[in-house]
Amino acid sequence: MNSIWIDSVPKILDKSKSLDSDVSCDVTIVGGGLTGLTSAYYLSKKGLKVVVLEKDNLMFRTSGNTTAKITAQHDLFYKYLIDTFGAETAKKYLNCNLKAIDDIKHIIDDERISCDFEYQSSYVFTKSNSYVQDIKDEVKATHMLGFDSRLVNNIPLPTNNVLCAIEFPNQAQFHPRKYAYGLCNSILNNQGLIFENSKVTDIQKIKDIYSTKVGDFSVESKYVILATRYPFINAPGFYFLKMYQTLSYCASYEIPDNLFSGMYINAEQPTLSARIVKDNGKDVLLLSGCSHKVGKPSGVADPYSTLSTFARSIFPDCKMISRWVTEDSVSLDKLPYIGQFSSLMPNMYVATGFKKWGMTFSNVASNILADKILGIDNDYSDIFDSTRLHPIQNKEEMGNMIKEATSSIVIKKFTIPNDTIQSLALNEGKIIEFEGSKVGVYKNNDGDIFKVKPVCTHLGCELSWNPVNKTWDCPCHGSRFNYDGKLLYGPALHDLEVL
Ligand code: FES
């Protein structure tokens, strides 16, 4: 199923076009999500010729499957930032995200974009005594940074047993694909080029010029921005060693009346996020949550049932309209990577690791990257330095990643599964032993069998079956493949081998 955003705005471009000739420009932007489009917007406004290359359709992956909150409240995060990096970094993080809300509003006003933008308070609430002190500490931390957050005992969301919450006033929400439509109009009016279904297969550097390959054609430019959720170039950069990926479940519900405003997330596990969306004049409840690392089981038996139970606790007669999943990248120190891709590749930039807060960070990152290309100092760029080393000093996460990679690449390779095709139930997927080899098999409800080689095409880890989404997921760096082997999410670039 598609997200509510894709269903309500199926097309961003009036005329979609793939790259069908060689082109040269100032900046090639790989990735047609919100970071790519916002970067293209800022740079084309300054008179640079930009080319955006999107492998599928614009705003179709992470940016099209979001909750579309624009906020500086990123769970309970500021105490962590102060404790880990100091108050100066925490303050910059806060201020650049608050500035992003203003900058997005300016773009909307300047370009007269009709995208359901609304200022709303954002809340992190708890129903558990164990998190009350964490919320109080977060209020103290934000006050220390000069932000007027509020500790409240009641929230507008009509859910029972809330003990307390931290409120960030004047945050915002919008319709991301309507906003992207406005960005694209401006980019095209400023002589920018946007190509869909144009998958980049290679980027070569010849003297000072990058040649970005799409099939038989190439785009030549001095600058390249990698605005994909996960950089697909393994080396140099080595982002697969510095990030992991998470999967979150989303659902929208028809509700009788909008009884509340605001944007919500709970402090405890499983995390649940809520907001109201205007859809064709009607109010719809949008929930997301139950996140887990890709390739690992969800912490709940059925994520969509968990969302629906919560929805019905607010609106007993609500009806699910749509459901979907989204994938996000998280850096090991929880700060995004925004800046130079690698010290070995001047003029190539990256923006990734937004930790589920990509609507706001798309603007932060685009400002930083546009400033870098234009040679303008940016007050916030230093805290997101993408070549920093301290993420890999996060021993716990680094240990987890090494454990995952080792068990997926080495240990599982020598494990012989007991299951056979005959033992598979309908609508079940498993790795089985077939004629002496391991095969990933899915049997659909009609009894049709789909067989793939269950080895990730990125760096060779063994895949895990995801029973909720009917996908083959990679526990190492988070690539995901449909049951029939089609690549859904990278960093892998290729489909699975079909057997
Ligand atoms: Fe890297 Fe699968 S995503 S090995």
Atom of ligand 1 nearest to the CA of 478: 3
Residues 6+ apart with CB under 8 A from 470: 427, 429, 442, 482, 483
Atom of ligand 1 nearest to the CA of 240: 1
Q: 91 C-alpha to center of ligand 1: Å?
A: 35
Q: 291 C-alpha to center of ligand 1: Å?
A: 19
Q: 414 C-alpha to center of ligand 1: Å?
A: 18
Q: 239 C-alpha to center of ligand 1: Å?
A: 12
Q: 458 C-alpha to center of ligand 1: Å?
A: 5
Closest-CA residue to 52 (of 72, 26, 78): 26
Tens digit of each residue's pLDDT, the chain (499 residues): 899 999 999 999 989 999 999 999 999 999 999 999 999 999 999 999 999 999 999 999 889 999 999 999 999 999 999 999 999 999 999 999 999 999 999 999 999 999 999 999 999 999 999 999 999 999 999 999 999 999 999 999 999 999 999 999 999 999 999 999 999 999 999 999 999 999 999 999 999 999 999 999 999 999 999 999 888 887 788 888 888 999 999 999 999 876 789 999 999 999 999 999 988 888 899 999 999 999 888 888 899 999 999 999 999 999 999 999 999 999 999 999 999 999 889 999 999 999 999 999 999 999 999 999 999 999 999 999 999 876 555 566 656 655 555 555 544 555 556 677 777 889 999 998 877 788 999 999 999 999 999 999 998 999 999 998 899 999 888 899 999 999 998 889 899 999 8
Instruction: Give the model's pLDDT for residue 310.
Output: 95
Closest-CA residue to 25 (of 202, 187, 198, 192): 192
Distance CA 5, CA 208 (A): 40
Exposure of 426 in the CB half-sphere (CA atoms within 13 A) = 3
State which amino acid sits at residue 28.
Answer: T
Atom of ligand 1 nearest to the CA of 409: 4
> Pocket of ligand 1, candidates 327, 329, 455, 476: which has the most ligand atoms within 8 Å of its Cβ, to mutate?
476
Atom of ligand 1 nearest to the CA of 463: 2
> Pocket of ligand 1, candidates 229, 293, 471, 477: which has the most ligand atoms within 8 Å of its Cβ, to mutate?
477
- Determine which residue's CA is closest to atom 4 belonging to ligand 1: 459
Residues 6+ apart with CB under 8 A from 335: 85, 93, 353, 383, 384, 391
Q: pLDDT digits over 84-128, tens only?
A: 999 999 999 999 999 999 999 999 999 999 999 999 999 999 999
> Pocket of ligand 1, candidates 456, 489, 493: which has the most ligand atoms within 8 Å of its Cβ, to mutate?
456
Atom of ligand 1 nearest to the CA of 461: 4
Q: 30 C-alpha to center of ligand 1: Å?
A: 20
Closest-CA residue to 165 (of 177, 155, 179): 155
Q: 244 C-alpha to center of ligand 1: Å?
A: 10
Distance CA 413, CA 485 (A): 19
Atom of ligand 1 nearest to the CA of 474: 2
Q: pLDDT digits over 176-221, tens only?
A: 999 999 999 999 999 999 999 999 999 999 999 999 999 999 999 9
First to last CA, the chain: 27
> Pocket of ligand 1, candidates 453, 463, 474, 487: which has the most ligand atoms within 8 Å of its Cβ, to mutate?
474
Distance CA 68, CA 101 (A): 12
What predicted TM-score, i.e. pTM, was given to this entire model? Answer: 0.90
Take residue 236 and report the two structure tokens written for it: 């140099």
Atom of ligand 1 nearest to the CA of 456: 2
- Determine which residue's CA is closest to atom 3 belonging to ligand 1: 477
Take residue 264 and report the two structure tokens written for it: 């919500």
CB-defined site of ligand 1, < 6 Å? 240, 456, 458-461, 474, 476-479, 491-492
Q: 478 C-alpha to center of ligand 1: Å?
A: 6
Take residue 320 and report the two structure tokens written for it: 């699910």
Residues 6+ apart with CB under 8 A from 303: 249, 270, 289, 290, 468
Main-chain dihedrals φ then ψ at residue 323, nearest 5 degrees: -145, 150
